[in-house]
Structure 1
Amino acid sequence: MSMTTIKDIAERTNLSVGTVSIVLNGRGDEMRISKRTQQRIMEAAQGLGYLPNVSARRLRQTHARNMPVIATFWPSDLSADLLGRFIMGAQSCVLAQEAEFEMTIHPYHRNDIDRIRAICGSGSYHGAILTGLLADEQQELEENRLSVPTVLFNRLSSVYSCAYVDTYEIGRKSAELFASRGHKRVGTIVPEYLVDTMKNLRFKGFVESCTKYGLELEPHHIQAATMTMAGGNAATKRILEGGEPLPTAMYFPLGPMAVAALPVFHRAGIVIPDQMEILTYGDHEAELYSVPSLSTVKLPVEEMAEECIRLVMARILDASAEPTAVQFETPFVFRESCGGFGSMR
């Protein structure tokens, strides 16, 4: 991927590299460069797709702190449990004395790309980590790149460095597991912000694979909910209220949602796993200590967060380097709720 340089802009505008550099560093007024010339340079930079290395500039400034500052963007509807695990992973780089940095968490509403751009362009941050991006958001940010070195958490990208898992494969192998366990009728709960099957690859992988493996997934056995314990509890009640026949296996998009569903099944007299098996996604700590303990597809949040820090620090030090994509495995963790407790790998 070729990067536009200050020299390219100088050639485009027929100005000196020094003049272009002064303007792009925000010192045009200070050095008495005309507004017209400044505008000419900025328009050329934009036309050429120039991305100023704000982070490197900030590190070079004598008045700036030498410690990199990273902005992490967290959508407001993404699970708070995941945020806690993300921070645990990110801090491990500091605790292991591998890296020193400051990190701030910026909540934002879906599709508020302007807020992300404004914060990244403020000059206050050396790099950014984006989490939980929707497909439309990712496309917009890839077509019009951010002005600081950026890393994507759990999204595959050829434009930005990223730490990711194969989300379609997670859905596929979850359906395959249910089929191998002899189930015919299954159900699932979908995060409200990912109800579009064409863009939610994990859900798409599950739905398409249910058809492939001959599993029945009735519309009333698919419920959308917020990614919270309350959401999981309420969605489970709606599935039971749909009446018989119930699914004999349920796939939950987040472990704590399944933990909150267990009392609903218990009060309805449904014995887990004898009458219904449960598989979750994530491997949160609560899943280990619930009764019964919950089988899961492990999302290695902590390890991925740690890798995101390494990737963004590498990009801060060399913003011209090619983006790096690091894929993580998502193994099954079999416990009491599904998969023949202790008998499968």
Structure 2
Amino acid sequence: MPKNTRGVQVKQIAEHLGLSSGTVSIVLNGRGDELRISKETQKIVLDTAREMNYQSGKNQKKNQKTAARRESFCIGVFWNLHYMGGLLGQFYSGFLETIKQYHAEVEIVLQPFEYDHLNLLEDAFSGKRYDGAIIGGLSELDSGYLRENTFEIPIVLINQTLENYSSVYVDDYQTGRQCAELFYRNGHKRAGIVSSENRSAASVLRYNGFAEECRKCGIQLKDEWKVTGEGNGIGGYESVRRMLQCRELPTALFVQTSRMSSGILAALRDGNIEVPGQMEIIAYGDGDFSQYLYPTVTVLHVSVAEMAANAMHLVLTILQNDLHMTLSKLHVTKLIYGESFQEKPYERTP
């Protein structure tokens, strides 16, 4: 193949190979493994680029690089008002950590929305205000709105997976199952669950996984042991105080939002229920704060800062490489033991 001395563009390589420009751009920028492009495809792209005398951005003059790639973006962060607390601060630290790694100027604009009312911000997804969007705290109704619509800008969802949308997520159903399995291994026959009253699509999946595994393991999960409250310490206290009015209590408690843990522990202390002696607890969420409670709480931990960093990474990758595809990143929860639950040694049946 004759070499082109006038400078080959990504589009020309893509057309020659019958691949998308986005795929070729990812390979030439050294991100093929990261975005799961096959070794065979990477080799073909790189070999062809060499044959066509393609020069990477590293070897081009700064003005050529600037002309080929946009270097400033405005990213809208759509955030459920229910989560406007310390959690948002952790997400922002993750966003900023990723932005430092990119040679781009990125403006982050916070766009709050009411629970179940993301649809009121439809104009914000037109592409006139933002180049891309990151959305967190979706309710089931909000998810339904996104599912039924398509938008001009790339959108990355946090802890939610929907067809045609990029996402950074946890396997919430499996997380719920894991908690029930841990209770079963410790010999529990009765379990309860505490959830935020503003249920997200992710929390519904965790609940379903927990309930299904409890059923399989023969663990009772009575309706009166399924309580809800505001997703904070006050909500945790009030919801568990209601549970304590029951004649019979569970011996294990799954807390769907770790931010409720402080109130839950206070309610159990006021009710003279010892943790972990009479009630073992596992919470879901960021485990950093839970290690400063008394007793410390065992957590199925997911780093919100890390999820935010990856969400920003996905949206900037899509924008800088002009990709017309969705990307996803799975986060695996890590079990961090506290004093509220300690797994008992497995005893084999003789």
The alignment's TM-score, normalised by the length of structure 1, stands at 0.75
Matched, 1:237 2:237: no
Q: CA deviation at 1:115?
A: 3.0
Once residues 224 and 99 of structure 1 are traced to their aligned partners in structure 2, the CA distance between those partners, rounded to angstroms, is 43
Identify if the C-alpha distance between structure 1 residues 177 and 74 changes in structure 2 by more than 3 Å, giving closer, same or farther: same
Matched, 1:257 2:260: yes
Q: CA deviation at 1:135?
A: 3.3
Structure 1 counterpart of 2:212, from 208, 211, 234: 208
Q: Residue 227 of structure 1 aligns to which amino acid in structure 2?
A: G
Alignment of 1:261-280 (within 5 A): 261-280=264-283
Matched, 1:294 2:334: no
SS at match of 2:208: helix
Once residues 228 and 196 of structure 1 are traced to their aligned partners in structure 2, the CA distance between those partners, rounded to angstroms, is 18
Contiguous gaps of at least 5 residues in structure 2: 1-66
Contiguous gaps of at least 5 residues in structure 1: 1-61
Q: CA deviation at 1:283?
A: 2.5
Q: Deviations over 1:152-197 (max 9, x none)?
A: 1111233111111101001001000001011111111122122899
* Contact in 2 for aligned 1:149/1:319 (Cα 8 Å): no
* Contact in 2 for aligned 1:93/1:99 (Cα 8 Å): no
Matched, 1:219 2:223: yes
SS at match of 2:72: coil
Match of 1:142 in 2: 147
Matched, 1:191 2:196: yes
Identify if the C-alpha distance between structure 1 residues 173 and 276 changes in structure 2 by more than 3 Å, giving closer, same or farther: same
Once residues 200 and 126 of structure 2 are traced to their aligned partners in structure 1, the CA distance between those partners, rounded to angstroms, is 32
Once residues 182 and 268 of structure 1 are traced to their aligned partners in structure 2, the CA distance between those partners, rounded to angstroms, is 23
Once residues 77 and 282 of structure 2 are traced to their aligned partners in structure 1, the CA distance between those partners, rounded to angstroms, is 30
Say how many residue pairs are matched. Answer: 278
Q: Residue 136 of structure 1 aligns to which amino acid in structure 2?
A: L
SS at match of 2:152: coil
Identify if the C-alpha distance between structure 1 residues 306 and 195 changes in structure 2 by more than 3 Å, giving closer, same or farther: closer
Identify if the C-alpha distance between structure 1 residues 286 and 129 changes in structure 2 by more than 3 Å, giving closer, same or farther: same
* Contact in 2 for aligned 1:195/1:224 (Cα 8 Å): no
Q: CA deviation at 1:103?
A: 0.8
Identify if the C-alpha distance between structure 1 residues 172 and 262 changes in structure 2 by more than 3 Å, giving closer, same or farther: same
Q: CA deviation at 1:291?
A: 0.9
Identify if the C-alpha distance between structure 1 residues 247 and 81 changes in structure 2 by more than 3 Å, giving closer, same or farther: farther
* Contact in 1 for aligned 2:143/2:201 (Cα 8 Å): no
Match of 2:130 in 1: 125
The alignment's TM-score, normalised by the length of structure 2, stands at 0.73
Once residues 114 and 218 of structure 1 are traced to their aligned partners in structure 2, the CA distance between those partners, rounded to angstroms, is 35
Match of 1:339 in 2: 342
Q: Residue 226 of structure 2 aligns to which amino acid in structure 1?
A: I
Identify if the C-alpha distance between structure 1 residues 269 and 114 changes in structure 2 by more than 3 Å, giving closer, same or farther: closer
Once residues 185 and 254 of structure 1 are traced to their aligned partners in structure 2, the CA distance between those partners, rounded to angstroms, is 20
Alignment of 1:1-345 (within 5 A): 66-78=71-83, 80-96=85-101, 100-121=105-126, 123-194=128-199, 200-242=204-246, 244-340=247-343
Q: Percent identity of the aligned residues?
A: 30
Q: Deviations over 1:32-51 (max 9, x none)?
A: xxxxxxxxxxxxxxxxxxxx
* Contact in 1 for aligned 2:94/2:305 (Cα 8 Å): yes
